[in-house]
Structures are given as structure tokens and as C-alpha cells.
């Protein structure tokens, strides 16, 4: 079963709007990562947040982590059509591997 | 370009056949991971090697096997193929293990179609 579960499954917004995706996981983690995948392509690493961190920024990305609720959120500000992709959270379930959620499909309309 | 190289990019084969997917990790990366992505199962972790040794196993079928060679490249062998094995197979690599917060870099994948 998946360690991380993203919510919503799909999100459609207008260019310039913010997009928020959520991820919940089941077991304790050392870190949580967010990845992006353009259709049929490989996954690209976006940002990593460690279990002792609560918030992290990278450009237009903002990630939060709440270990008490076992959840994380990814915020993309001022979205662009090029942000259209699937976004996955991944956790180091047992330290040796990354387990991915089902992903959120983001569509940014121009 | 992530630096992870996978071959072949596309492969069409018949049921019952066997194929080998190859992966060259990024230079210096010791960990190699294999993932399967299909529409109905999502991104499933198959197996992971670290410096030639198997370190973690996921939902890998007995018909599938993998290994990492001394030069750190890896192969995923899929045998007795079934229609349901049609998927995008990813190889990924990282310097060390995920617990240390290492970024995992993905290749572009090998599209396998079983007919």
C-alpha cells in the first residue's frame, strides 16, 4: 500500500493562482520529498523537508510538514502553464527506499 | 538531464517472453532503485540496491529479478511476461540512502508494452 496519499487527486486552476496539494503518510519518517512528473517523463525532485523542519521554501514552492498529523502540503504560488504536471510526495518509509503517493494532477490553464 | 540513463526507451514484446532493462546511475551514486508505474497501480517501488547489495524489496513479482554490478549499473529482468506487466519502468539513483535525506534522481524510464 502507498505510504503517502495526495489530496486532491486532480486540481485545475487559472494561471497566476496558487495551487495547494496535500500529502498524508502513515509511519514515522526521517524526511519527506516532493517530486514533479511531466506526462510520460521521469520524476524530478522539487524539495526535501526533514522531520525536524516545519516549513521550507524554494522559489515559488513552499512546503510545510506537520509530523504530529503526519501530513505535508506543497504550495505553488503564482502558477504558470508550465507547472502543469503530476506532483508526488515521497517518504523514506523504512530508510532504505522512497515510497510515493498516488499523486496530484495539476492543470494550469492559461 | 538527471544523469541516470535507461535503455531501452521503448520495448514491445509478446506474452511469455523475457526482457532486460538496463540502468546506469549518476556518476558517484551508490544506490539504485527500480520503480514500476502503471495507470492502475501508480508508482510502485520494486527493489533497491546499495553498492551491489540488495537493501530493500517492494512489490516485486517472483518473475522479476534485478542485480547491481560492480560498476554500479543495474539490470531488471522481467520474465514470463503478462499483459499486466505493461508499464513504465523507472530506474533512479542516489548517493546514499533516503534516510539521510539524499535526493533520488530518476531516469526517463523504459516503456514496456506486452502484446
**Residues A36-95 pLDDT 10s:** 999 889 999 999 999 999 999 999 999 999 999 999 999 999 999 999 999 999 998 666
Residue B53: predicted pLDDT = 95
CB of B104 within 8 Å of a chain A CB? The answer is: yes
Alpha-carbon A26 to chain mean position:
16
Residue B24: predicted pLDDT = 98
Contact A19, A72 (CB under 8 A): no
Residues of B in contact with A94 (CB under 8 A): 56
CA B63 – CA A89 distance, rounded (Å) = 29
**Once rounded to an integer, what is the mean pLDDT over residues B70-93?**
97
CB contact under 8 A, B103 and A98: no
Residue B82 has pLDDT above 80, yes or no: yes
H/E segment holding residue B112: strand B110-114
Residue A1 has pLDDT above 70, yes or no: no
Residue A4: predicted pLDDT = 67
Residue A3: predicted pLDDT = 59
Note the residue count of chain A. Answer: 110
**Residues B8-63 pLDDT 10s:** 999 999 999 999 999 999 999 999 999 999 987 789 999 999 999 999 999 899 99
CB contact under 8 A, B99 and A100: no
Residue A92: predicted pLDDT = 83
**Residues B96-108 pLDDT 10s:** 877 777 889 999 9
Residue B97: predicted pLDDT = 76
CB contact under 8 A, A96 and B55: yes
Residues of A in contact with B105 (CB under 8 A): 45
CB contact under 8 A, A40 and B101: no
More confident residue, A1 or A100: A100
Q: Which residues pair with B47 in a beta bridge?
A: B34, B57
**Once rounded to an integer, what is the mean pLDDT over residues A16-30?**
93
Distances (CA, A) of A52 to A55, A67, B19, B49, B94: 10, 9, 43, 27, 22
A66–chain B nearest CA distance, Å: 17
CB contact under 8 A, B99 and A95: yes
CA B50 – CA B56 distance, rounded (Å) = 9
Q: In chain A, whose CA is at the least distance from the CA of B41?
A: A102
With 0-12 / 13-18 / 19 or more C-beta atoms within 10 angstroms meaning exposed / middle / buried, residue B62 is exposed
Contact A109, A14 (CB under 8 A): yes
* Contacts of A77 by beta carbon, 8 Å cutoff, 6+ apart: A18, A60, A61, A62
Amino acid at each position: 500500500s502507498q505510504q503517502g496519499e495526495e489530496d486532491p487527486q486532480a486540481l485545475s486552476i487559472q494561471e497566476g493562482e496558487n495551487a495547494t496539494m496535500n500529502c498524508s503518510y502513515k509511519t514515522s519518517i526521517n524526511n519527506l520529498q516532493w517530486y514533479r512528473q511531466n506526462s510520460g517523463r521521469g520524476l524530478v525532485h522539487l524539495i526535501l523537508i526533514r522531520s525536524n523542519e516545519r516549513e521550507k521554501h524554494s522559489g515559488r514552492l513552499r512546503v510545510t510538514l506537520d509530523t504530529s498529523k503526519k501530513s505535508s502540503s506543497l504550495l505553488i504560488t503564482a502558477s504558470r502553464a508550465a507547472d502543469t504536471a503530476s506532483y508526488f510526495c515521497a517518504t523514506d518509509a523504512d530508510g532504505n527506499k522512497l515510497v510515493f503517493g498516488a499523486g496530484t494532477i495539476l492543470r494550469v490553464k492559461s | 538531464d538527471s544523469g541516470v540513463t535507461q535503455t531501452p526507451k521503448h520495448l514491445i514484446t509478446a506474452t511469455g517472453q523475457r526482457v532486460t532493462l538496463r540502468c546506469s546511475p549518476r556518476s558517484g551514486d551508490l544506490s539504485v532503485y527500480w520503480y514500476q508505474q502503471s495507470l492502475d497501480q501508480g508508482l510502485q517501488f520494486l527493489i533497491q540496491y546499495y553498492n551491489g547489495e540488495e537493501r530493500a524489496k517492494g512489490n516485486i513479482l517472483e518473475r522479476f529479478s534485478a542485480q547491481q554490478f560492480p560498476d554500479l549499473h543495474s539490470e531488471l529482468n522481467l520474465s514470463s511476461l503478462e499483459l499486466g506487466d505493461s508499464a513504465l519502468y523507472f530506474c533512479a539513483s542516489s548517493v546514499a540512502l533516503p534516510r539521510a535525506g539524499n535526493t533520488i534522481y530518476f531516469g526517463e524510464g523504459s516503456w514496456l508494452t506486452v502484446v
